[in-house]
Copies of this chain bind each other. A is one copy, B any other.
């Protein structure tokens, strides 16, 4: 059996966060994690479908790859590009989802016992979720997928997740090539046509953790889950001042330095070589490799990539890329004055994130000056400079240099300052 791991998406909804496949959590990328989990559950023959934008980086991990040529063709395109490898059965898995490790054993067993034509992973939901619901036939097999039904009209409590097993991969490819649709749903149309022609797919209920990683504000949720599952440890190669305080569960890697008066309140991950400086506070956050959380900085409920440098900042509910610096006194607003939910632009459209507390999202290689104020929900594109003393209440495109335009009024000082008697 082949596993086809679909990793060719361009993470447009995540921008300016880089390709989600390479998002590093606790020292390991999502892609590595997914492949490790598959392998440790017996799925050995894995092909990662990438695109021109990420194929080289996928290869750099040593994974077997295939290139999806037409990236606008979505899942259909991914499978078409892999068609000639799909001679037997196949498990198609999206890299868009984070699951509990147990899902792979569940699927593995279902495949072993499967005497029908395939298995579809079905997340059992307790609350309405705007996804594709499975309609089942009288025998309990999949009858159709109902996309985003009105709340209250869901055909079941099972949401379709892209972990699909096809016993006859070649047949599925045939249906896929024949499918016709004006929308971006050829994959689903192909499945529907198979069902209509009598193929039987098992809906495999799954009650464990699931988080789509689609929008930037999903990142912190994924961190929380992965951290909880991970083994906690404080490296013996970390230098932690006896005047620092660590509360709750933490992971502290090799070479970390925690200075006097610093406080880390778990859950918190501190990556290799990072510095948590004097009197800084890190809480409920992911701090990547070689970051410097500077003096008098708070990092709260945030994700910091690698090489992020802060200094007398407040970074709250934010997603910060790799190689980013903030000047002293610069802060991320993370709460509206009216405390309503915060909107963020996604693919050019404003979208309600449903979050009351949300800071900013930055790409990689960003520099911000001192005393600048970022408004909640703002995105800062990669390779951008943001000047000092600004209020940033709009998204900043990548490769930008942002300045303000304060004009100083300089007049003569009529006070003899030397004569002032100061009162402490």
Contact = CB atoms under 8 A, between A and B. Distances in A.
Interface of A is mostly: loop
Interface in A293-344: 295-296, 298, 307, 309, 311-312, 314, 316, 323, 325, 327-329, 331-333, 335, 337-339
A401 B338 CA distance: 11
A403 B409 CA distance: 5
A300 to B, nearest CB: 8
A229 B217 CA distance: 51
Given A417-B383, A422-B325, A333 B388 contact: yes
Q: For this complex, into which size category does the number of interface residues on chain A fall?
A: 35 or more
A345 interface: no
A283 to B, nearest CB: 8
Contacts of A307: 422
Work out how many copies of this chain go into the complex. Answer: 3
A415 B323 CA distance: 14
A230 interface: no
A185 to B, nearest CB: 38
Contacts of A245: 241, 243, 260-261
A244 B371 CA distance: 28
A259 B300 CA distance: 15
A278 B278 contact: no
B388 A389 contact: no
B356 A423 contact: yes
A404 interface: yes
